[in-house]
Structure 1
Amino acid sequence: MSKRLVPSMTALQCFEAAARHLSFTRAAEELHLTQSAVSKQVAQLEDMLRHHLFLRIRRRLQLTPAGSLYLAEVNKILTQVDMSSRYVLTYGEQTEILKVATQPSFGVRWLIPHLKGFGKRHSNIHLDIRNEMEPFALLQGSADVVFFYGQGTWPGATCVELFREEVVPVCAPELLAGRKLAGAEELAELVLLQSTSRPEAWHEWFLEQDLQSVSAYHGPRFDTFYMALSAAQAGCGVALVPRYLAAKELADGSLVVPWNHAMRSAGAHYLAYAEHAAEVPKVRALVEWIHEQLQA
């Protein structure tokens, strides 16, 4: 195996400080080292990399192209080490981190409201929730629990079905200008807001009613249902979304259903975790909590 090019943390800190100040003297003052110690650390880095990192011009430093390239990478490393250190200081030994991955709209509209009270019951578990457009986080080890929409078949994982969806068209009341639609085909006269994750949705919705529309694929496209809902509220067009996502707006009247045909989605929402993690206390705690929320 070839020797790894891993410099010391001291060398990286000396280089970063010298590059920021463009001065070995000021870097030494900041790091509480001697000027010669900083200079020596940088020289050792240059020997290892076989590139000059600085030009010495009239007692002043200037980064070389190699130095600028290296500085960008070193900044990433030092930032990550700093964040990791603060992470450990914050959470300590008595706290477990439960990494949760969820698709954005589901996370905002369903998951987060259903997590109220979880932290009070499980004060030793801190949730680390992040958005994932694709449910690969579990396989990569970057999440303990994943919430995703799909078919529920995932080798090596336990998938628990949460619920299925009803998809309905929604729009701002003013978009209809007080008129009542005579049929679903009249929706095609309006702007149909498209979803990147479900590009066939409008086509399938019309097809269920024995209709075809050339407008089914036309219209502004959005990465998330949440963005499509916001566009619908702003009067930009009609969004085809899961009813649960629009429940609040439908209740307060800021959105209406212009034609009440609900389409059952082919997939469902699932909670998933690795099979080997079934008895991990923090995973089991969240799974049981979600079960309680669904039964409430």
Structure 2
Amino acid sequence: MLDMKELPSIRALRTFLVVANHLSFSKAARELSLTQGAVSKQIAQLEQQLGQPLFERHLNGIQLSSIGLRYLPQIAEALEALQNATASLRQLDQVEEIITVNVTPSFASLWLIPKINGFAKAFPHLQVQLKTGDGMVNDISTDNDIIIRCLPLAKHYENATLLCYESLRLVASANLLQLRPIRHIDDLANHVFLPQVTRPQLWEQFRTHHDIAFPMDFYGVGFEHFYLSLEAVRNQLGLALLPDFMVDDLIAEQLLFNPLNSAMTSHYGYYMIVPHYKRHARKVCVFTQWLADMMGNSQDHIS
């Protein structure tokens, strides 16, 4: 291991990055609020310390040397790591605990994020770190404290609690319905349906649920997540099936519409998965109780 005295200073490395970015000592000096001479001196001292030239000097300017090209990305990554570590420490200065919650992207963007400010105000010393994931959870021995997934209804999921059954709304934009109103089930024949690529069976279930005999016209682009389908609906690309607790507020505000008041229960549910050894941790109990209260207060979804 190198002696700390042999390592370049943070200031010298920062100067190297700025000069490499501009390929100009004068422009780097302006950004760093230094004289051009001071910048040139720092680079010269760094090169002397490394025993390698970082730049090639030419009459019409400078270029990174082959050594400089190799050194630059490693130093950029190292300084970024230092900045991240320092920023994280400062942000966590007033935080007593951290809880990591891993949720599906649509659950995060369409339900959790709009409501998470209430949790932050109620529990200011407990910071929630949100991560996203999808599909089955095969390994819960990770840094996640709570995992929320939409899974086929079953009783065999280990360490899982059913939060709610999935009930889907047929949704459309106001402009689309003005162009092609839907007053009867047969009016759906005039519309395009947005494919759900990970669960194409939902539209087949919808067809059976409403006893639809006419061919269904599907849009040429499929969408993996509900939040993508929602954006497609807003852009008047077609009709989508979206979970009620994610869109009912938008329907109430008439930002979206549910033609025919169509609702359909899928064969899926939203499960909260907590590793057994974390189940009784205070932070987990606080968040799971808040989650149950929020979902229960908004729509009687808790099973």
What TM-score comes out, normalization by structure 1 length? 0.74
Q: Distance in 2 between matches of 1:165 and 1:9?
A: 57
Matched residue type, 1:117: G
Q: How does 1:1-296 map to 2 (within 5 A)?
A: 8=7, 10=9, 12-13=13-14, 15-20=16-21, 22-23=24-25, 38-39=43-44, 41-42=46-47, 45=50, 53-57=54-58, 61-65=62-66, 67-68=68-69, 70-92=71-93, 94-133=95-134, 139=140, 141=142, 143-151=144-152, 158-177=159-178, 179-183=181-185, 186-211=187-212, 214-215=215-216, 217-296=218-297
SS at the partner of 1:287? helix
Would the aligned equivalents of 1:137 and 1:146 in 2 still touch at CA under 8 Å? Answer: no
Q: CA deviation at 1:212?
A: 6.1
Q: CA deviation at 1:88?
A: 0.4
Query: Cα gap change, 1:295/1:44 in structure 2, threshold over 3 Å: closer, same or farther?
Result: same
Deviant stretches of 4+, over 6 Å: 33-37, 135-138, 152-157
Query: Cα gap change, 1:57/1:169 in structure 2, threshold over 3 Å: closer, same or farther?
Result: same
Q: CA deviation at 1:164?
A: 1.0
Would the aligned equivalents of 1:191 and 1:219 in 2 still touch at CA under 8 Å? Answer: no
Matched residue type, 2:268: G
SS at the partner of 2:216? helix
The superposition leaves residues 81-110 of structure 1 with CA deviations (integer Å, 9 ceiling, x where unpaired) of 212202102322753222223223322332
**Percent identical residues:** 23
Q: Distance in 2 between matches of 1:72 and 1:212?
A: 60
What TM-score comes out, normalization by structure 2 length? 0.73
Indicate the RMSD between aligned Cα atoms, in angstroms: 4.2
Would the aligned equivalents of 1:104 and 1:131 in 2 still touch at CA under 8 Å? Answer: yes
Q: Distance in 2 between matches of 1:212 and 1:78?
A: 62
Query: Cα gap change, 1:123/1:70 in structure 2, threshold over 3 Å: closer, same or farther?
Result: same
Would the aligned equivalents of 1:14 and 1:42 in 2 still touch at CA under 8 Å? Answer: no
Matched residue type, 1:249: L
Q: CA deviation at 1:149?
A: 1.2
- Tell me the number of residue pairs that the alignment of Structure 1 and Structure 2 aligns: 286
Would the aligned equivalents of 1:137 and 1:143 in 2 still touch at CA under 8 Å? Answer: no
SS at the partner of 1:285? helix
Q: Distance in 1 between matches of 2:89 and 2:80?
A: 14
Q: Distance in 2 between matches of 1:102 and 1:292?
A: 18
SS at the partner of 1:100? strand
The superposition leaves residues 226-282 of structure 1 with CA deviations (integer Å, 9 ceiling, x where unpaired) of 342343244332112122222123223343333444322222112223332223332
| Unaligned segments of structure 1, at least 5 residues | none
Q: Distance in 1 between matches of 2:85 and 2:263?
A: 47
Q: Distance in 2 between matches of 1:54 and 1:137?
A: 50
Q: CA deviation at 1:65?
A: 4.8
Q: Distance in 2 between matches of 1:254 and 1:124?
A: 35
